[in-house]
Structure 1
Amino acid sequence: MTSERVFVFVDEEELFSVMKDADCLYCRIPVTASKQHLKKRHLRFAIYYKDAGIGRFSIPCYCSDGGHGRSHWHCPMCSKILHRTQNYKIHITNHGVEMTDKSSVSDGNKLRFVSKFSPLPAELQPTTVLLESLQTHSEDKTPGSKAACQKCGILFTTTSNLRRHERLQHGQDQQPILCILLCELEECWDFMKAQAQSGNPGKECRHLVRTNHAQHYVPPPPLSVRSLEEMRDKHLLSASEKHECQEMNSRACVQGVDCVYPVFWGEHDLPERCVFFSVYTDLEDKWCQFGRTRVSFDSKSGSWKCLCKHKRSRCVHKCLCMWWLFQERPELLQDALDVHPERALNDDLC
């Protein structure tokens, strides 16, 4: 008989009694839920808080609900799944609970958890409540007992946790990155799965870690029909190319997305010879799984490259990028925009 999964407990014994050495309900692969397994894999990373004056804790889960075997948290209040520990803490705090340290009462060498199911005898009742918020707890601690982040003031019990926090949240020594929705490399999936199975929940690949330094989104200047008309007048685009660009830009505006989003790496002190563009396609295919394609422009050679499956020399995605550069950065184009008299003549005859 399979027990129902519970994601919040008042003490360790309650967790052990739910399992009783059966298969672990919180792991994706079958493994015996021994006390050693529960302590190493789940209790080690438990999050403690106080709800209605009662100390409780939640444990991380590794079931298939998290995707690719990643560690995650199930909110016991609303059944929402969160993948990051900090996000889970913020989420349950919004439900009205109070974050605490690990709540315990010691009797000699004996450590016993406060539980509503097994209250302490009168002679062992503490004279003060040990469940306090992290903020109150930190104020009562003597100076030097905890290491504080110099930038945001968060306290850490170990210097290694502090260094990791400063590296991930305030580090500025890594290459810039704009956005990663989901790491698509299978080797990264295997890496995170192996880390989760070895007792490191929340471990992410280097690509996802870099998203902590992602820049805030700033919309690029929109494309102007006036500049498109100017390109047409100078015979830099054919009539059909002009119409196709205008139609694509209109569809992007209806969808509420950027038709052309440029990336200038020179702004990050990196080589600025090549300019990259994320271009709207209004399609979902192998080469544009997110409805966008990537176009690159070499400002030295004047050459263009596109992931588009069409192999013609000028596709609509390149023309859209030419439009944006002609409008915003014409100095980069130089001789990249060539005028073909025969194209202009054919357009005039049509």
Structure 2
Amino acid sequence: MTGERVFMFVDEEELFSAMKDLDCLYCRIPVTASKHHLRKKHLRFAVYYKDSGIGVEMTDKSSVELRPTAVLLESLRTDREDETKPGNKAACQKCGILFTTTSNLRRHERLQHGHDQQPILCIDAKNAIYVTPKYLHGPRVPIHIRKSFTSQVLLCELEECWDFMKAQAQSGNPGKECRHLVRTNHARHYVPPPPLCVNSLDEMGHKQLLSASEKLQCREMSSRACIRGVDCVYPIFWGERELSERCVFFSVYTDLEDKWCQFGRTRVSFDTESGGWRCLCKRKRSRCVHKCLSAWWLFQERPELLQNAPDVHAESADALEEAVMDAEDVV
């Protein structure tokens, strides 16, 4: 074996012999591929099956046949077919299995590893601000939270989380955290994004993507964020799966504290297919400096994502965008 990952073996002994005297190829950190390790960390999640004329029959180690649902059968067929297709795939961070869609990956994580696997990023180390998905399912719409033991701050943007923690405090559990705050225990450390450059803003002006007044507003807001020692625009890409999501989200500095920007930041979303933009500020359906700032960052760092949006301010009644909007109105 030369270091290439293989996911199908005739029996356990073939796996043991192939991995003998090697580090485990299915783990992200170096660990010896002993029989104990392979059984405990990987074989316990293995799928035992045999091919037949009518499809796949699932069996466990005692050879008791289990008949999977149509959804599971289709997922197995799709995964096996995808192994031969070129292109980028998302890998499970626990066991290394590759998936072509984030929905298949999330389903695998829930079923095989038993927890939500929701990412969380620190976007402002100075003020202890994080972003994490609002819901367990559907589009990964981010929300802001603050958690600092030094400043004794435990805050979440959602009112339902306020009510939950308030009820817990009244019940004698004043330190009980909502599900979003709990995730900070495995948050990714703050990594500064590429800074906004005036040259790219001027180029947008030359191409008539921004007006003179919009350019001025962007420069002023960027300067105020710099004075405060925070990032004006922080793009929210969820780790290795960053470009597999249709909507790109940004946390944008506002220099305000209001219901829509409780921690001095708002959320902007961009639909890479329709070119539609949305911001939580009071100018939701029109141009605002927060959308312009996000477009500035995209134009500078990821111009290929703007190919479907000749007008960076295009507002589209796109199905996914409407779904995101509906999700925001639930709480």
- TM-score (norm. length: structure 2): 0.46
- TM-score (norm. length: structure 1): 0.43
Greater C-alpha radius of gyration = 1
